[in-house]
């Protein structure tokens, strides 16, 4: 009976602590380094238009904004300068968050 009560007590403590056992002395705990968003974004490589942005646009905006399409003469999406000119207005057809984030990073980097 005492063992059962002991297990229940430990179980309740784990539930209360979010399911993680907490150390008794904080000075013995090594915390992982905190990395800011600015540090991670500066360590990322340059976004390449042809290999990273153009495939996204081709999957969402083909055939109209690519060679032979109805809108190609006015808004050719195979050219980085068109995408920089449009900016975030381009997001009317691009809904995936990762694609938007990649395009935003492309837009913020210098040509």
Q: Where are the domains of the chain?
A: 46-108
Comparing 87 with 37, the larger pLDDT belongs to: 87
CB contact at 8 A, 52 and 104:
no
The DSSP element (H or E) to which 81 belongs, if any, is helix 80-86
What's the first-to-final CA gap in the chain, in angstroms?
Answer: 72
> Of 19-28, 57-66, 77-86, 99-108, which range is least confident?
19-28
Distances (CA, A) of 90 to 9, 18, 57, 65: 57, 42, 9, 12
Which letter does DSSP use for residue 49 in this model? I
Read off the pLDDT band of 43 (50, 70, 90): very low
Q: What six digits make up the tokens of 31? A: 């915390």
* 71-109 pLDDT, tens digit each: 999 999 999 999 999 999 999 989 999 999 999 999 999
* pTM higher than 0.95: no
Read off the pLDDT band of 70 (50, 70, 90): very high
């Amino acid at each position: 009976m005492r063992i059962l009560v002991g297990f229940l007590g430990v179980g309740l403590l784990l539930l209360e602590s979010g399911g993680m056992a907490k150390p008794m002395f904080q000075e013995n705990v090594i915390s992982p380094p905190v990395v800011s968003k600015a540090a991670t974004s500066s360590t990322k490589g340059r976004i390449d238009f042809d290999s990273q942005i153009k495939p996204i646009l081709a999957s969402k905006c083909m055939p109209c904004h690519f060679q032979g399409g109805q809108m190609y003469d006015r808004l050719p999406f195979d050219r980085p300068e068109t995408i920089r000119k449009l900016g975030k207005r381009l997001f009317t057809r691009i809904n995936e968050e990762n694609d938007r984030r990649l395009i935003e990073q492309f837009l913020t980097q210098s040509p």
